[in-house]
Structure formats: C-alpha cells, structure tokens
Amino acid sequence: MEYIAKDKATAARKFKEEILQRIKEVPAMPYCNRKSIFFDDDEIRDLIYKGYIVVYKINKKDQIIKIFGFTKYEDKPFG
C-alpha cells in the first residue's frame, strides 16, 4: 500500500478500505479462499485481492482466524 500511497493517496485509501472489507468477510466463509501456497496446512488460507495476498489461519476449535501477513504476490516472503 505504501507504493500506491506514494503515487495516489486516494487510490491507496480506496484499496485499504476494499481489502479490509474482504478481510471482514472471511469469518462468514473461511474456507472459500484457496489453501495457502506458502504452507502445507489446510487450515492456512490465502485471500487474494488485486495482486496481494493476505495469509490467515483458521482455528476451528477456538473459532478464531489469525492473520499471518500481507504481501504482494510476486514477493512470496513466506515461501
């Protein structure tokens, strides 16, 4: 988002709002996103949005979703 913000502040704010909205929707259907390409665990998922990945883990027992990180797809910092 910093890259977007350097160029266009309005676009950065819009992107932030949109991706946060997508993250807020995850608890309703946590398994609708693909299994993570970074981890060999069915409970870890990748939410993909406009070339970015939000990696999160589902804890069914405690009914918690933990966000691991947020990265541009090409960077692959977890893999």
Helix (H), strand (E) at residue 4: helix 2-7
Average pLDDT, the chain: 87
Number of independent structural domains in the chain: 1
Q: How far apart are CA 44 and CA 22, in angstroms?
A: 16
CA distance 5 to 43: 32
Q: What is the CATH number of the domain that holds 66?
A: 3.30.2310.20
Boundaries of domain holding 52: 2-75
Nearest-angstrom CA–CA distance, 73 and 53: 6
Prediction pTM value = 0.80
Q: Tens of pLDDT along 57-72?
A: 999 999 999 998 888 8
